[in-house]
Amino acid sequence: MLAPILTAALTSLPAAHASEPLPEVRVERAATAVLGGFALANLSSGTAGYFAAEAPTWQAFHGTNAAWNTVNLGLAAAGAVSLSRRPVETLEERTTRGKRLHRLLAINAGLDVGYMAAGSTLWALGATGSDDLLVGVGSSLVLQGAFLLAFDLTYRARHRHALGL
């Protein structure tokens, strides 16, 4: 349901010129597409994996991946809609908005480390206590946190460069 919204919003982004979007908008569009693509891939593979898996560890892993990525897909769709509705901004407004985004991405990176730490803890507890559910959920959180950490740090660096900061 969110995929058509994401696609429609990404095709109607504001541009500096009729054919050329601003550098930071190109970065934002690419980041939105990457997050949305990752979410769709995890939703589909996670759902299929959950129903195909027989082992509880794999069911927990795939189910957690699918559930986690409903949020990622929602964030990507919201980002795409926001990009499509953004008014023309002055350089000062673009820089201010960019700095807010950079702070948010830095906070997100800290949260991503927390996801990996929580996942590692669950994974270890599950492994020592032979709890398949904890192993599956924990390993999923480590994977999702690692992707999001790489995503947030890359997005932040590319966006800062695009704004010349």
Q: Domains of the chain: which residue ranges?
A: 2-163
The pLDDT, as a whole number, for residue 15 is 44
d(CA 116, CA 135): 13
88 confidence band (pLDDT: 50, 70, 90)? confident
- Residue 147 has a pLDDT of 98
Transcribe 105-151 into DSSP letters. Answer: HHHHHHHHHHHHHHHHHHHHHHHHHT-HHHHHHHHHHHHHHHHHHHH
What was the pLDDT predicted at 21? 76
User: Considering the entire predicted model, what is its pTM?
Assistant: 0.84
Structure-model confidence comparison of residues 146 and 20, the more confident one: 146
Instruction: With a cut of 60, say whether residue 49 has pLDDT above it.
Output: yes
Distance CA 120, CA 114 (A): 10
pLDDT higher than 70, residue 39: yes
At 20, the pLDDT band (50, 70, 90 cuts) reads: low
126-161 tens-digit pLDDT = 999 889 999 999 999 999 999 999 999 999 999 999
* Mean local confidence (pLDDT), 99-121: 98
Q: What pLDDT does 3 receive?
A: 53
Amino acid 33: pLDDT: 97
